[in-house]
Amino acid sequence: MAESLLTADAEAESGTRRLRAGLWRENPILVQALGMCPTLAVSNTATNALTMGLATATVLLASALVISSLRRFIPQQVRLACFVLVIATFVTLTDMLIEAYALDLHRNLGAFLPLIVVNCMILSRIEIMASRQVPSVAALDALGMGGGFLLGLLALGSLRELLGQGALFGMHLMPAGFEPWQVMQLPGGGFFSLAALVLGFHALDRRWRTAEPAR
Amino acid sequence: MTPGVTPDRAPSVLRVQAVLVAIALVAGLSIATVHELTRPLVQAQRGGLLGNAALEVLPGAVNYRMYARGADGSPELLQTVDGAELFVGLDARGDTVGVAIVASGMGYQDTIQLVYGLEPQQQRLLGMRVVASRETPGLGSLIVEDAGFVAGFSQVVLQFDGDGELQPLRMRDQARYERGEIDAITGATVSVRAVARIINRSLAEWLPVLRAHYDELQGDKRG
C-alpha cells in the first residue's frame, strides 16, 4: 500500500516536472531545436504560428494519450509502425477539421499541416515518454512539450510579423512612420529571428540559474 | 519503473499482425467518419470560393450562371455551385462580360485548382486566381501571393497560329511581353509551369466547346 502511494506520488511529481521541463528547460524549439522545418516556414505571422502550434500540440497530446493507453498491447517489433499510424491518423483528422472550419488558415499552412506526421518532436516524445509511462504522465509531458512548441513558435511568429509587417495578429501596432523589415517575412528572417530568440532565451535562462542558489 | 511497450518476449506473428490491423482499422474508420462529416462543409466553402474567384477574374461581373459539361460535352446549366466547371459572368444589366473556367492539375506536390477568366471574344485572358493549392510556403505559394504575377494574367493575349490553332502559354523570358506569355517567378518555377500547363490543357478542352456553344451560353440570359 505504502509502496503504491509512493509510486503514485513519484509519478505525479514526474508528470508536473515533465510539464515544466517542456515549457522551459527542454523547450523543443529553443533548446532541443526540434521541428525546425515548420518552425522556420510558417512562423511568418502570429496567426499561422498559433494555428501550427495548436495543431502540433493537439496531435501530440492525442497521440500520447492513445499510445500510452495501448502501450501494453503494442508489440516491441512493430511499435514504430503503430506510433506512426496513430500520429498520422490524428494529423489527418486535424487537417480535415481545420480545412472544414478555417479554410483560409488551411491554405496559409499549406503542405506543413500533413508534414506534422514527420515532426521529430512528436515521434521522440512518443518513443521516450508515452510508450513507457502511464497516460497521466504521458499527457502532462505532451502538454509541456506541445505548449513549449506553441510558445516558441508564437514568439517567433509575433516577432516576425511585428517587424516584417508592423502588425500583430493582423492589427497594426507600429507607428505610422515605421518601415516594415521585408527580410523578416522571408526565409532568412526566420533564421535571424530564431537566432535572436535562442540568444535571448539562454541569456535569461543563465541569469535565472545563477540567481537560483542565492534564493 | 513503469513497464513500457510489450517487452522482448517475441510475440507470435499473428498477434503482431492483429495489433497492426486493429489499429489500422480504427484509424481508417475514424478518418472515414470525419471525412464524411466535414465534406459538405469543405465543399460548400470551396463552392463559395470558386464563385468568388469567378467574380474576381471577370471584371464588371456582379452575378454568374454555372455550367458543367454534360455527357455529350456540351455545357449544361446548373442550379448549385456543386460540380460547376464554367461560370458565365453577367454585369448589372445581365450582359455577358466573359467566362470563368475552373481547371485543376498537378502542382509541385499536390493538385492546384484555379479559376481563369476569358473575354467574350476568347482572345484574351481576364485574370486568374488559385483556389486550392499546397505549394511550398514561401516558394511555390508565390503563385497565390505574388500580386504582380496574379495581376499579369489580366493582360495575357492568346496566340493562335495561321489555322486558328491555340498556341500554349509560355513563361516570359524577356522584358517585353509577347503574345501568349505569362510572368515567371524566381523560386516558384515548377508551380508557375504547372499553372501554365493547367490553363493550356483547360483552354484546349474548353475553346472548341465555347466556340460551338457560345450563343447558347449567352442566350440563356435572354430566355
CA–CA separation, A30 vs A6, rounded Å?
Answer: 34
Nearest alpha carbon to residue A90 among A123, A55, A128: A55
Q: Does residue B163 register a pLDDT over 60? A: yes
Nearest alpha carbon to residue B156 among B144, B168, B140, B174: B168
Contacts of B31 in chain A (CB under 8 A): 89, 92-93, 96
The pLDDT of residue A5 is 39
Q: Could you tell me the pTM of the whole model?
A: 0.71
Please tell me which of the candidates B1, B19, B31 has its beta carbon nearest to residue A89: B31
Task: Select the more confidently predicted residue: B117 or B42.
Answer: B117
Please tell me which of the candidates B27, B133, B138 has its beta carbon nearest to residue A41: B138
Our CA-based measurement puts residue B53 at a distance from the nearest CA of chain A, in whole angstroms, of 14
Our CA-based measurement puts residue B91 at a distance from the nearest CA of chain A, in whole angstroms, of 28
Contact B27 A89 (CB under 8 A): yes
CA–CA separation, A138 vs A151, rounded Å?
Answer: 20
Contacts of B23 in chain A (CB under 8 A): 70, 82, 85-86
Contacts of A111 in chain B (CB under 8 A): 109-110, 134-137
Inter-CA distances, A49 with A38, A46, A93, A108, A159, Å:
9, 5, 19, 10, 11
Report whether A78 contacts B24 (CB < 8 A): no
CA–CA separation, A192 vs B92, rounded Å?
Answer: 51
Reported ipTM exceeds the 0.95 cut: no
Task: With a cut of 50, list the residues of chain A below it in pLDDT.
Answer: 1-9, 215
The pLDDT of residue B171 is 79
Contacts of A70 in chain B (CB under 8 A): 23
Contacts of B144 in chain A (CB under 8 A): 107
Contact A72 B3 (CB under 8 A): yes
Q: Is B12 left (phi over 0), alpha (psi -120 to 50) or beta?
A: beta
CA–CA separation, B59 vs B90, rounded Å?
Answer: 10
Contact B2 A131 (CB under 8 A): no
- Bridge partners (DSSP) of residue B167 are B159
CA–CA separation, B45 vs B39, rounded Å?
Answer: 10
- pLDDT above 90 as % of chain B: 25
A132 touches B: beta carbon within 8 Å: yes
**Three-class DSSP labels, chain B:** CCCCCECCCCCCHHHHHHHHHHHHHHHHHHHHHHHHHHHHHHHHHHHHHHHHHHHHHCCCCCEEEEEEECCCCCEEEECCCCCCCEEEEECCCCCEEEEEEEEEEECCCCEEEEEEEECCCCCEEEEEEEEECCCCCCCCCHHHHCHHHHHHHHHCECEECCCCCEECCEECCCCCCCCCEECCCCCCHHHHHHHHHHHHHHHHHHHHHHHHHHHHHHHHHHC
The pLDDT of residue B4 is 56
The pLDDT of residue A134 is 92
Order across the sheet with B63-69: list the strands.
Answer: B75-78, B63-69, B86-90, B96-106, B111-118, B125-132
CA–CA separation, A88 vs B93, rounded Å?
Answer: 52
- Bridge partners (DSSP) of residue A1 are none
The pLDDT of residue B147 is 83
Residues 6+ apart with CB under 8 A from A169: A45, A46, A47, A161
- DSSP-derived letter for residue A180 is -
Report whether A117 contacts A84 (CB < 8 A): yes
Best interface-test mutation with B: which of A89, A123, A165 has the largest number of B CBs within 10 A?
A: A89
Contact A110 B45 (CB under 8 A): no
The pLDDT of residue A1 is 38
CA–CA separation, B149 vs B127, rounded Å?
Answer: 10
The pLDDT of residue B182 is 81
Report whether A60 contacts A125 (CB < 8 A): yes
Query: Which residue on chain A is closest to B36 by alpha carbon?
Result: A96
Our CA-based measurement puts residue A204 at a distance from the nearest CA of chain B, in whole angstroms, of 32
- DSSP-derived letter for residue A128 is I
Contacts of B132 in chain A (CB under 8 A): 107
Contact A74 B136 (CB under 8 A): no
The pLDDT of residue B1 is 45
pLDDT grade, residue B137 (50/70/90)?
low
The pLDDT of residue A158 is 94
